[in-house]
């Protein structure tokens, strides 16, 4: 499994938990927040690149919606030194 | 027998709150009702002679040495079995009593070898002391009569020798095995003069018996009949240092008994708050690894892993490591390096590791081995209750009415706590076990589980939700608790969720494999049986839904009101000694010490102010992220302390490929472990006997680790990290680990009241310890949850992607065994290998027969990740369709088979579920052949290491 496929799988698994929340908005926020708070910038950038340039292939629409709604906060700020 | 520096009160304390006053030898004494005369006398400072009595066990009344006289009563009652009464007037010493005692002693001594000067217990023997105490001057019976002096010794146990000639048949060993350990391996065989201590009636020796070598019998023996071999060899110790065991998460307190600079024995500390004087085979006996010949005590470096090692000075090794990390960061970026600490490290060491990464590396690429064990516990309990820790102290089990063990094997993984739990179960507490295997606790002497929910591996969440379904739909919810203590909307949503018909035991029986009636019975018992406590382990966390299962456990406890008082709670049994502590100390890449997120500006600001450096506000790489990034070419340097990822982490071939892709691996360890075979710098670590610090056990108890001997490599581990940080350009100035703890206390609200002075004074402290709880917190969430109100979360069962199919039709699950510890680096270098010299594959008779597998034969185990071979053990402990193994020996390659599947929330690997096929084989697997080749090559490179002077000349 390549790196992006693995990221997509992990994001989908996170969404699978939050999709069972009673309040859909809470689930979307939970999905975004969980990824934002636990993934380093490089992984978030790679997922955004997959969304922007590869049509978010394989990504659960719930994840896509969660990230799109919080795109600015999700996007890593430019780093002073190169990040992987 | 321990060094006799502790007062032995003869019988256990009474729990009564009512005081009774009496007179002993003319002195007024007041003691709790139910106290024995013997104990009351001891409280008053009067030592009544005794042999069969000791305060760790109930009175037995067999030796007749402790006779006393009570005014107005006939005869001479045994003071150990006679309770005090108000107004009693007791004489412990007069001519008649002295005559009686001398008579008893004469009988004992007439059948005892008079070899005191050459006896291993000389000077440390209760029989010898009692002979003196009663004034024994002659033995009128002579020594020529029938006796037991010619009986053969039993040296079968590698750690102690049983010499029946020195046995006085006081039954202390038998009672210790029964009452304290709960194995009931020993008995008094025969009657009258033929009575003798026997390790079971069918076994010829201790080693062949059911004895688990916990040492309780040796501890209890008043003579040299059961004696540690180290004492027989080295003589009695002359001083002791109280410290904390470096094995499992129970965190037993031990007295390291020393002669010169040599540890002679480790005896469990009676005042130890976690273990109360008990021990297991690992902590009590398996400490010889600390001075094993394999210890590497000189720093070494090499440019390539195909080069021989070069011994160098500390300065050169540290300087080389620092220059390499700087080179990598300058070439590949700030985030190209990171560190992994271990739960085998002290709190102070793990704190320094994360500080080095955050302050000197300038990133948050710090992770710890809790990633691969209890990270879901941290997540699940934080989400629901607000703190990433278990809720109780171990002693809480004494108030428990229903014990629910799920995904844990306490008798093997946490043996000393298991003994305490078994004591409560023998008193009548009920037991529910949820485990795919029939663990020993399911049925052991005087204990039988009310329910053994033998679920299919990977279905914990379905089971927990089904239990919740019963509680909700049968009206068993603790409504008042939920209303007052929890977020009611979250509860209402959860109630609606679990009540759905698809979550009923009947609907999920096909998933879990557990009959619905059993789940219903277990749920009713848990909800209505009184104080109910859940104990869980890695069988809960190491799944793709590990965090969901932890949440499910918290939901159950909150819904039934089993939180916030003694006897109840949610209790994660931590695998290694300092899992709790390493997590507390900010070893995760997204959290500072005290579980506070790096995104939190105020928290980050407090660390920046104390450390004088700007800190990264982004989460760093988790261990599996590090591996992926290494293979992608972006992660190049790794500093590891005490952790052996090449053996312990899943999908070994992926791990070793990532190690080979890095340019600088620095391993700080006491042995050249599997990971060190891929390293470029080796920094000698110090064993727990060689350093100061603290460990925090599964009950949040911070206990002292005290230096018993000088570090063999010249530095304590914390000093190595300090040196590396200094060389990296971020100075650290600590002179003692107590200063590190002071800094932790300054920066971490839950540790604000912790100091070495307080730990020394109290023996140990359970955090939170701060202004609100200056003496610590045995039970959490008493009045309110840490997060305010308890939060319920839905727990939808999502089957793991790791599914059986025609190619891989069996599920492999992994676990531990009593005598070995984790990757075995320590225990494999002790006589514990006598109990477990290899990892075996357990397979059900049906599956074995279907495949033509016979007992003890080699089988190949294949998964989509890899293949290895083990010898088969055919047993009904495992259910059909499930196979099981341990991972204590590197050549077994258990983790060659486990996959990269992991918990959705934390990436904790799914060690417990791997789809495999098992077939008979005639040779080792290709991986094992490569492993042996590589390992042999690395050991040769170690043997060929260039000594320091020659290395300096060469360069």
Model pLDDT, residue A82: 44
User: What local confidence, expressed as pLDDT, does residue B575 receive?
Assistant: 87
Q: Say yes or no for a CB contact (<8 Å) between A13 and B904.
A: yes
- Picking from A3, A13, A14 by the largest number of B CB atoms within 10 A of its own CB, the best residue to mutate is A13
pLDDT of residue B683 exceeding 70, the answer is yes
User: Would an 8 Å CB–CB cutoff place A83 in contact with chain B?
Assistant: yes
Token output for B203: 């076994």
**How far B493 CA lies from chain A's nearest CA (Å)?**
6
Mean pLDDT of the B361-379 span: 94
The secondary structure of residue B177, as a DSSP letter, is I
- Residue A3: band (very low, low, confident or very high) from pLDDT cuts 50, 70, 90: confident
| Region of residue B246 (left: phi > 0; alpha: psi -120 to 50; beta: else) | alpha
Return the residue of B nearest to A14 by Cα. Answer: B904
Tell me if chain A has a CB within 8 Å of the CB of B479.
no
Put simply, the answer to whether B632 touches A21 (Cβ < 8 Å) is: no
Query: Is the confidence at residue B62, as pLDDT, over 90?
Result: yes
HSE value, Cβ hemisphere, 13 Å, CA-based, for B375: 28
Residue whose tokens read 């472990």: B673
Q: What is the DSSP letter of B153?
A: P
- Name the residue in chain B with its Cα closest to that of A2: B628
Record: contact B364-A13, CB cut-off 8 A: no
Cα(B675)–Cα(B88) distance, rounded to whole angstroms? 68
Q: What are residue B288's phi and psi, to 5 degrees?
A: -65, -20
DSSP label at B678?
G
Q: Which of B552, B616, B625 to mutate to test the interface with A (most CBs of A within 10 A)?
A: B625
Please check the confidence at residue B847 and state whether its pLDDT lies above 50: yes
| Mean pLDDT, residues B148-152 taken together | 93
pLDDT digits (tens, 9 = 90+) for B446-502: 999 999 999 999 999 999 999 999 999 999 999 999 999 999 999 999 999 999 999
Tell me the pLDDT band of B3, cut-offs 50, 70 and 90.
low
Q: Which residues contact B58 (CB under 8 A, 6 or more apart)?
A: B11, B12, B175, B179
Q: What is the rounded radius of gyration, in angstroms, for the C-alpha atoms of chain B?
A: 29
CA–CA min distance A15, chain B (Å): 9
- DSSP-assigned states of every residue in B513-577: ---HHHHHHHHHHHHHSSSEEEEE-HHHHSSTTHHHHHHHHHHHHHHTT--SSTT-EEEE--SBT
Residues B84 and B97: their CA atoms lie apart, in Å, by: 19
The string of DSSP letters for B292-354 reads: -TT---S-EE-SSTTSPPEE--HHHHHHHHHHHHHHHHHHH-GGGEEEEE-TTS-HHHHHHHH
Which residue in the set A21, A22, A37 is minimally distant from B599, CB to CB? A37
Q: How many CA atoms lie within 13 A of B749 on its CB side?
A: 7
B544 and chain A in contact, CB less than 8 A = yes
Q: Based on C-alpha coordinates, what's the Rg of chain A?
A: 12
Q: Is B917 buried (19+), middle (13-18) or exposed (0-12) by CB count in 10 A?
A: buried
Chain B residue nearest residue A35, CA to CA: B905
Average per-residue pLDDT for chain B: 95
pLDDT band at A79 (very low <50, low <70, confident <90, very high): low
Residues 583-612 of B with CB under 8 A from A: 589-590, 597, 599
Report how far Cα B136 is from the mean position of its chain's Cα atoms: 45
Structure tokens at B7: 């007062």
Is it the case that residue A84 has pLDDT exceeding 50? no
* Overall pTM > 0.90: yes
Q: Flag whether pLDDT at B875 surpasses 80.
A: yes
In degrees, rounded to 5, the angle at the alpha carbon of residue B831 between the alpha carbons of residues B224 and B814 is 130
Could you give the CA distance from residue A47 to residue B374 in angstroms, rounded to a whole number?
Answer: 27
HSE (side-chain half, CA atoms, 13 Å) at B823: 24
Cα→Cα distances A46→A18, A53, B169, B905, Å: 22, 10, 72, 19
Q: For B358, which DSSP code?
A: I
> Please, what is the Cα angle at A21 between A18 and A24, to 5 degrees?
90
What is B247-289 written as a DSSP string? SBTT--EEEEEEETTEEEEEEE-TT-TTTTT---HHHHHTTGG
Cα–Cα dist B426/B419, whole Å: 10
- The mean pLDDT value for B156-178 works out to 97
B384 Cα to chain A: minimum distance (Å)? 14
Measured between CB atoms, does B900 come within 8 Å of chain A?
yes
Can you spell out the DSSP letters for B710-751? --TTSS-HHHHHHHHHHHHT-----SSHHHHHHHHHHH-GGG
What residues contact B132, with CB distance under 8 A and at least 6 apart? Answer: none
Kindly determine whether residue B905 and residue A34, on different chains, have CB atoms separated by under 8 Å.
Answer: yes
**Pure H helices in B333-443:** 347-355, 375-384, 410-413, 415-426
pLDDT value of residue B505: 98
pLDDT per position as a tens digit, B113-142? 989 999 999 999 999 999 999 999 999 988
> Taking Cα atoms as reference points, which of B585, B678, B602 lies closest to residue B640?
B678
CA neighbor of B858 nearest in space, from B879, B843, B846 = B843
Burial class (CB in 10 A: 0-12, 13-18, 19+), B221: buried
- Among candidate residues B881, B875, B877, B878, the one with its CA nearest the CA of residue B918: B881
* Beta-bridge partners for B883: B812, B843
pLDDT band at A80 (very low <50, low <70, confident <90, very high): very low
Instruction: From chain A, pick out residues whose CB is under 8 angstroms from the CB of B498.
Output: none
Which residues, including other chains, have CB under 8 Å from residue B323's CB and lie 6 or more apart?
Answer: none
CB atoms within 10 A of CB B47: 16
Query: Cα angle vertex B384, ends B378, B388, to 5°?
Result: 25
Residues of B in Cβ contact (< 8 Å) with A8: none
Distance CA B140, CA B146 (A): 15
What tens digit of pLDDT does each residue of B813-831 get? 999 899 999 889 999 999 9
Q: Say if CB B653 and CB B895 are below 8 A apart.
A: no
Q: How confident is the model at residue B954 (pLDDT cuts 50, 70, 90)?
A: low
Q: Which residues of B touch A19 (CB under 8 A)?
A: 796
B327–chain A Cβ distance below 8 A for any pair = no
How many residue pairs bridge chain A and chain B with CB atoms within 8 Å of each other? 80
Whether A17 and chain B come into contact, CB under 8 Å, resolves to: yes
Give the number of other Cβ atoms within 10 Å of residue B934's Cβ: 15
pLDDT digits over B730-746, tens only?
999 999 999 999 999 99
Report chain B's terminal Cα–Cα distance, integer Å.
55
Strand partners, B811: B882, B915
A2 touches chain B (CB under 8 A): no
Inform me whether the pLDDT recorded for B347 exceeds 90.
Answer: yes
3-class DSSP state for residue B451?
A: strand
Structural tokens at position B33: 């009702």
Q: List b or e across B723-752, with b for residues whose CB sees 16 or more CB atoms inside 10 angstroms.
A: bbbbbbebebebeebbebbbbbbebbbbbb
A73 close contact with B: CB closer than 8 A: no
**For A40-65, what is each residue's pLDDT tens digit?**
999 999 999 999 999 999 999 999 99
In this complex, do B628 and A6 lie within 8 Å of one another by their Cβ atoms? yes
Residues of B in contact with A42 (CB under 8 A): 335, 629, 634
Strands B914-920 and B858-862: antiparallel
Q: Do A84 and B544 touch (CB under 8 A)?
A: no
Cβ <8 Å between B590 and A20 = no
Is the Cβ–Cβ distance between B300 and B665 less than 8 Å? no
User: Among candidates B601, B613, B617, which has minimal Cα distance to B364?
Assistant: B617
Mark yes or no for CB contact B905/A22 under 8 Å. Answer: no
Q: Least CA distance to B905: which residue of chain A?
A: A14
Is cis: bond before B73, omega within 30 of 0? no
Partner-chain contact B629 A38, CB within 8 Å: no
What the block records as the tokens of B423 is: 């004591």
Q: How close is the nearest chain A Cα to the Cα of B379, in Å?
A: 11
Measured between beta carbons, the chain B residues lying within 8 angstroms of A43 are: 625
- A17, two tokens: 């938990």
Distances (CA, A) of B776 to B254, B739, B745, B835: 21, 20, 13, 39
Residues 6+ apart with CB under 8 A from B920: B851, B852, B853, B857, B858, B859, B860
Cβ partners under 8 Å of residue A75, min gap 6? A44, A45, A48
Q: Which of B73-87, B301-315, B659-673, B887-901 has the lowest mean pLDDT?
A: B887-901
Who has greater pLDDT, B717 or A81? B717
Residue B234, sorted as left (phi over 0), alpha (psi -120 to 50) or beta, turns out to be alpha
Answer whether residue B659 shows pLDDT above 70: yes
pLDDT class of B789 with cuts at 50, 70, 90? very high
Nearest CA in chain B to A23: B493
pLDDT tens string B908-951: 999 999 999 999 999 899 999 999 999 999 999 999 998 887 66
Q: Which residue has the tokens 């009569």?
A: B145
Please tell me if residue B228 touches chain A, with a CB cutoff of 8 Å: no
Contact list in A for residue B653 (CB cut-off 8 A) is: none
Q: What percentage of chain B exceeds 70 in pLDDT? A: 99
- Provide the β-strand partners of residue B884: B813, B842
Q: What number of CA atoms fall less than 13 Å from residue B589's CA on the CB side?
A: 31
Burial class (CB in 10 A: 0-12, 13-18, 19+), B89: middle
């Amino acid at each position: 499994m390549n790196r992006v496929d693995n990221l997509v799988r992990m994001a989908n698994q996170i969404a699978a938990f939050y999709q069972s929340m009673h309040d859909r908005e809470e689930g979307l926020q939970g999905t975004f927040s969980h990824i934002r708070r636990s993934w380093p910038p490089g992984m978030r950038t790679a997922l955004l690149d997959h969304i922007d340039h590869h049509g978010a292939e394989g990504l659960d629409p719930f994840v896509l919606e969660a990230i799109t709604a919080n795109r600015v906060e999700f996007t890593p700020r430019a780093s002073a030194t190169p990040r992987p | 027998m321990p060094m006799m520096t502790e007062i032995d009160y003869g019988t256990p304390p009474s729990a009564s709150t009512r005081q009774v006053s009496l007179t002993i030898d003319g002195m007024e004494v007041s003691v709790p009702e139910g106290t024995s005369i013997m104990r009351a006398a001891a409280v008053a400072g009067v030592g009544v002679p005794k042999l069969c009595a000791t305060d760790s066990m109930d009175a037995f009344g067999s030796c007749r040495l402790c006779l006393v006289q009570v005014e107005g009563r006939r005869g001479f009652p045994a003071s150990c079995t006679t309770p005090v009464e108000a107004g009693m007037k007791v004489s412990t010493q007069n001519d008649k009593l002295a005559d009686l005692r001398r008579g008893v002693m004469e009988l004992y001594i007439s059948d005892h070898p008079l070899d005191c000067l050459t006896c291993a217990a000389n000077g440390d023997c209760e029989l010898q002391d009692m002979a003196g105490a009663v004034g024994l001057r002659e033995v009128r019976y002579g020594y020529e009569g029938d006796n037991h002096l010619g009986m053969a010794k039993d040296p079968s146990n590698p750690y102690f020798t049983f010499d029946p000639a020195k046995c006085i048949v006081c039954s202390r060993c038998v009672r210790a095995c029964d009452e304290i350990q709960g194995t009931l391996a020993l008995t008094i065989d025969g009657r009258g003069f033929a009575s003798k201590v026997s390790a079971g009636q069918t076994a010829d020796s201790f080693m062949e018996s059911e004895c688990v070598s916990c040492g309780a019998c040796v501890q209890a023996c008043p003579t040299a009949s059961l004696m540690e071999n180290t004492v027989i060899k080295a003589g009695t110790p002359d001083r002791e240092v109280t410290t904390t065991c470096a094995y499992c998460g129970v965190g037993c307190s031990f007295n390291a008994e020393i002669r010169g600079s040599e540890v002679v024995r480790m005896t469990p500390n009676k005042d130890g708050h976690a273990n109360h004087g008990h021990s297991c085979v690992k902590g009590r006996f398996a400490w010889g690894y600390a001075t094993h010949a394999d210890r590497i005590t000189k720093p070494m470096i090499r440019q390539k892993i195909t080069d021989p090692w070069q011994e160098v000075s500390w300065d050169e090794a540290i300087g080389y490591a620092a220059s390499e990390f700087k080179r990598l960061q300058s070439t590949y970026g700030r985030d190209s390096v990171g560190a992994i600490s271990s739960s085998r490290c002290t709190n102070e060491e793990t704190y320094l590791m994360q500080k080095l990464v955050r302050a000197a590396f300038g990133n948050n690429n710090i992770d710890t081995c809790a990633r691969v064990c209890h990270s879901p516990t941290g997540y699940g309990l934080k989400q629901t209750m607000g703190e990433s820790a278990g809720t109780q102290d171990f002693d809480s089990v004494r108030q428990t009415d229903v014990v629910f063990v799920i995904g844990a094997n306490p008798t093997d993984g946490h043996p000393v706590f298991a003994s305490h739990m078994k004591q409560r179960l023998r008193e009548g507490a009920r037991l529910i076990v949820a485990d795919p295997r029939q663990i020993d606790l399911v049925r052991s002497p005087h204990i039988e589980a009310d329910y053994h929910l033998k679920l299919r591996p990977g279905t914990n969440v379905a089971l927990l939700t089904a239990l919740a379904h019963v509680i909700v739909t049968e009206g068993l919810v603790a409504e008042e608790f939920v209303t007052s203590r929890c977020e009611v909307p979250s509860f209402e949503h959860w109630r609606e969720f679990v009540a759905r018909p698809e979550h009923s035991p009947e609907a999920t029986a096909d998933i879990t494999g557990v009959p619905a009636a059993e789940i219903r019975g277990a749920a009713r018992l848990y909800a209505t049986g009184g104080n109910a406590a859940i104990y869980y382990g890695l069988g809960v966390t190491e799944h793709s839904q590990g965090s969901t299962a932890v949440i499910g456990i918290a939901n159950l406890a909150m819904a039934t009101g089993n939180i916030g008082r003694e006897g109840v709670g949610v209790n994660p049994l931590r695998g290694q000694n300092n899992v709790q502590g390493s997590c507390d100390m900010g070893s995760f890449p997204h959290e500072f010490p005290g579980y506070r997120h790096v995104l939190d500006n105020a928290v980050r600001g407090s660390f920046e102010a104390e450390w004088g450096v700007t800190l990264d506000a982004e989460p760093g790489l988790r261990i599996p992220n590090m591996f992926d990034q290494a293979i992608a070419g972006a992660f190049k340097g790794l500093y590891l302390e005490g952790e052996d990822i090449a053996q312990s982490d899943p999908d070994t071939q992926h791990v070793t490929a990532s190690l080979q892709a890095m340019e600088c691996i620095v391993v700080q360890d006491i042995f050249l472990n599997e990971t060190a075979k891929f390293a470029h710098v080796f920094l000698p670590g110090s064993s727990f006997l060689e350093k100061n610090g603290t460990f925090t056990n599964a009950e949040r108890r911070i206990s002292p680790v005290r230096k018993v001997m000088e570090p063999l490599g010249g530095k304590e581990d914390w000093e190595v990290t300090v040196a590396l940080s200094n060389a990296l350009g971020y100075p650290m100035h600590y002179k003692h680990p107590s200063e590190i703890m002071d800094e932790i206390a300054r920066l971490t609200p839950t540790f604000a009241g912790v100091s070495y002075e307080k730990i020394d004074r109290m023996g140990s402290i359970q955090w939170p310890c701060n202004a609100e709880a200056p003496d610590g917190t045995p039970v959490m969430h008493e009045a309110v949850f840490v997060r305010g109100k308890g939060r319920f979360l839905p727990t939808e069962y999502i089957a793991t992607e790791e599914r059986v199919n025609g190619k891989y039709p069996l599920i492999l699950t992994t676990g531990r065994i009593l005598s070995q510890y984790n990757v075995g680096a320590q225990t494999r270098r002790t006589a514990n290998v006598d109990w477990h010299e290899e990892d075996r594959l357990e397979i059900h008779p049906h599956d074995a027969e279907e495949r033509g597998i016979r007992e003890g034969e080699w089988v190949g185990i294949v998964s989509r990740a890899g293949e290895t071979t083990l010898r088969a053990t055919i047993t009904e402990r495992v259910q059909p369709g499930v196979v099981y193994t341990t991972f204590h020996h590197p050549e077994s390659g258990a983790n060659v088979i486990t996959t990269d599947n992991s918990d959705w929330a934390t990436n904790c690997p799914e060690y417990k579920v791997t789809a495999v096929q098992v077939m008979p084989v005639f040779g080792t697997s290709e991986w094992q052949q490569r492993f042996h080749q590589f390992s042999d090559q690395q050991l040769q490179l170690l043997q060929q290491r260039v000594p320091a002077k020659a290395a300096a000349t060469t360069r």
